[in-house]
Each structure stands twice: as structure tokens, then as C-alpha cells.
Structure 1
């Protein structure tokens, strides 16, 4: 990029982060002779800020409820100042919001689970929109290629499933699994359980049900039942499934 264009876009980015009469005047002062109508530039600035606000409100509804309207407004304003409106895809304007929330926990007096909840909500969307294709056929038990794993210090799977109706989530270590169902094409999620992790281990290491039974003593029928259940949920893919 030419130096003069970089200077222009840096100045425009500073204006878009915080539009207003003063910043608009500063923008024009930095670019003498620029004759774009000020009213049009102002409307554009409002559009960009609206896109950022709309993206985070859409992506983080549970977080918005958890922090309350006053803190939410302050967070969105603060996040906009970080100039997130750089990606051509609108939803990606909210990608950095979980990191911003993590940095804002103390300064904004946020609930302790806010950062983990933001990360969960972004992962929900990222899994849903993942470009990882699900193969039409597999030759062996295979993990879903969209699988994402999150470690929590709160029981967020139950909290998200209840849409936050029960108040703050319970504290407790949790390993959350999120994946896109290969047929339904929506994000599924659950707390990892020993049978779930066992089936995933089978898929990753190429173990058979009889291998698992020999190593653990778990009845082979129970192993096969767990594989069938998780195959229906789309967490693992099976030959002919």
C-alpha cells in the first residue's frame, strides 16, 4: 500500500472508531483538499459503528444479558475504539470481542464467567460457520472435523442450554465439546463425559470396540451403544453412517 493511502486509511480508521463533529473535523484537517461531503462521511461512520454493534449483539446474546444494559453499552463503545471493523464479513467484526471482555473483567466489574461465556458464544458461531467439510464417506470411525474443545471453570453447557434463565452458572471444571452436525448443520455442544472421551479416543487412535473392552472391561455392547449415540449426534462419523 502506498504511504499516502496508508496514512488516509489510518486516519479514516481513527475516525470510524469514534465518529463525531470533532473527529470529523480532525479527519478533514489531516487530508487538505479532500472534498468528500461531510454529511456522507458522517453517515458512513454511523453505518460502520452500527455494523459493529449489530454484530456483537447478534453473536453474544447471553453475555449481553449477563452484564446488563449499562455495562453492555460501555463495553460495545470500548470495543469499537479498538477498531474491529476491518473484515469484509460482518460477523467477523465480533471475533475479537472475547479477548476484549477478558481484558475488561476488572475494569468494568463484569461477572467472573463473562470471558468464558463470550468465548463459548464465539466458538458456537465459529463452529457453525466452519469451512472444514464433513466427508460424505469415511472408512473408519472419525472425529467430526468441526470439533472444538473448550476448558471452563464454570458449568457453561448447562447454562447455555437454559439460555441463562437460572442466573449465573455454577462453578466447576468443565471440558466442553462443540461441533457442527453434518446433517442438521447446526452447532451441537455438550460437556465431555468419560464415554464421550472414550469414543473420541477410539476415533483418534483407531481402536475397535473389542480393543476398548479388553483394555477397560467395559462391556462391548455398551461401547457400541456409545458409538451409535454419538454418531447420531454427529460428534463422530462412522462408515456407512
Structure 2
């Protein structure tokens, strides 16, 4: 038998996922003697569902716009029912939304890029809110420790940059880099270009511009320019001085 407190939270989660009057009656029936006023419990349920709805709208504005208001309302209702709100931090309520969309995509008639777009939007927030501390100084070129690499089968970077305007994202393999800028603390993203990957390789392997130039034939000045530009954007951290 489950401990009483665990059973209470399980049954409360079931009520929050399905706020019909019968669910409230079932909640009280499972806990005889519980004397909390039903009007207050109902109001609490409305608050929790409102928090979930508000968090999803804030975290996934492009998904919401792409699917339209009617489909969005049904998605939020089904997500609330199948993924009860249990985390104390409101924004974390959206953590499972991308996987929920991927699991239910075949039955909803949504565009196939929607789960990938949700994953992108969640990653953008998670990087912004990351607790990873950035060093104030580095001794050598260093990858930004908040960097997340997303492998996706749609060209989402351009779509996100356009804020969902225009045509849907085109199918195609894309490597997206998402990180938090060390000074502005804003999240940045970039489709992984050859220059970006080269500079990251330099940072990871400790290569100098002269060594890369000798190995690739690229002008050293071009390599240094890429390092300067991408360190200014925060993708890599460069020594000061």
C-alpha cells in the first residue's frame, strides 16, 4: 500500500488533470474526513491549470502560433491531463511538452516539424535558465559551458529567426548551437557553420590559428577573424588582454 501522503498527491494529480465535478467528488471520497472546503480546492485546481497554460504559452509561442488556437487549446488540455503538474518551479512544467507532442503527433494531424520546434524552444529556455556558471576569465580559448547542440531534421534556425513568419521550415539535417551569452545573459542560437565548428574544435583541442592554417590552408587572418567574431557572440570564451 502506498504511504498516505503519496496517495494523496497521486489522487490530487488525477483531479488537477481532470477538473470535472465528478473528479472533485472522487478526490474527497478517497480521503474520508478531509475537511478542506471544496470551493477552495476547486479554486486551487483552477490556479494550477492556469499556471500550466500560462507557462506553456510563454515557453512555446512559436508552437502555439504554428498549430493555431483550437489545436493549441486541445494540446494544453491533453498535456495537463497526461502530465500532471508536480514540479515546484512553474517553467519546468513545460519540460515534457516536446516529448508529449512527439508521442501524440500521429493522431493529431499536426505538421511534422512541431515536436522539433518545441524541443528547440524548450532548449532555448533551458539554456537561458541554466545554473551553469561561466568563468570570468579563461587562460585559453574555451567552449561556452552552457552550449547545447541540437541535431534536428528541419531547418529550424531560419524559421525561429523569422519568428515563424513565412513558410514552414524545410526538411533537412541541421545542427543547431544554442548557448547563453556571458555578458548579456541572453540565449543565442546559430546553425552550425564550418567556421563555428572549426572555432569550437580549436577550443576543445587547444589548437592555435597558425596550426589550423597550416593544416587546412585557410588564411590565418580569416581564422582569427572567426575566433574574434564568435567569442564576441559568446560561443567560445577567449582570454582577455
| In structure 2, C-alpha distance between the alignment counterparts of 1:196 and 1:6, rounded to whole Å | 49
> Residue deviations 1:83-116, cap 9 Å, x none?
3411111100111000001112111111010010
Stretches of structure 2 lacking an aligned partner (at least 5 in a row)? none
Cα displacement (A) at 1:150: 0.5
Where 2:106 maps in the other structure, the secondary structure is coil
Where 1:146 maps in the other structure, the secondary structure is coil
1:144-159 correspondence to structure 2 within 5 Å: 144-159=144-159
1:63-142 correspondence to structure 2 within 5 Å: 63-142=63-142
Given that residues 14 and 83 in structure 1 are in contact (C-alpha distance below 8 angstroms), is that contact kept between their aligned partners in structure 2?
Answer: no
Q: Could you tell which deviates more after superposition, 166-175 or 92-101?
A: 166-175
The answer to whether the aligner puts 1:236 opposite 2:225 as a matched pair is no
| In structure 2, C-alpha distance between the alignment counterparts of 1:159 and 1:192, rounded to whole Å | 15
Where 1:149 maps in the other structure, the secondary structure is strand
Supply the RMSD in Å over aligned alpha carbons. 1.0
Given that residues 48 and 85 in structure 2 are in contact (C-alpha distance below 8 angstroms), is that contact kept between their aligned partners in structure 1?
Answer: yes
Cα displacement (A) at 1:17: 1.0
| In structure 2, C-alpha distance between the alignment counterparts of 1:14 and 1:112, rounded to whole Å | 30
**How many residues align structurally?**
240
**Partner residue in 1 for 2:42:** 42
> Residue deviations 1:90-144, cap 9 Å, x none?
1001110000011121111110100100000000000000111110000000000
Stretches of structure 1 lacking an aligned partner (at least 5 in a row)? none
Given that residues 138 and 238 in structure 1 are in contact (C-alpha distance below 8 angstroms), is that contact kept between their aligned partners in structure 2?
Answer: yes
| In structure 1, C-alpha distance between the alignment counterparts of 2:170 and 2:12, rounded to whole Å | 44
TM-score w.r.t. the length of structure 1 is 0.97
Moved over 3 A (4+): none
| In structure 1, C-alpha distance between the alignment counterparts of 2:5 and 2:231, rounded to whole Å | 53
Cα displacement (A) at 1:33: 1.1
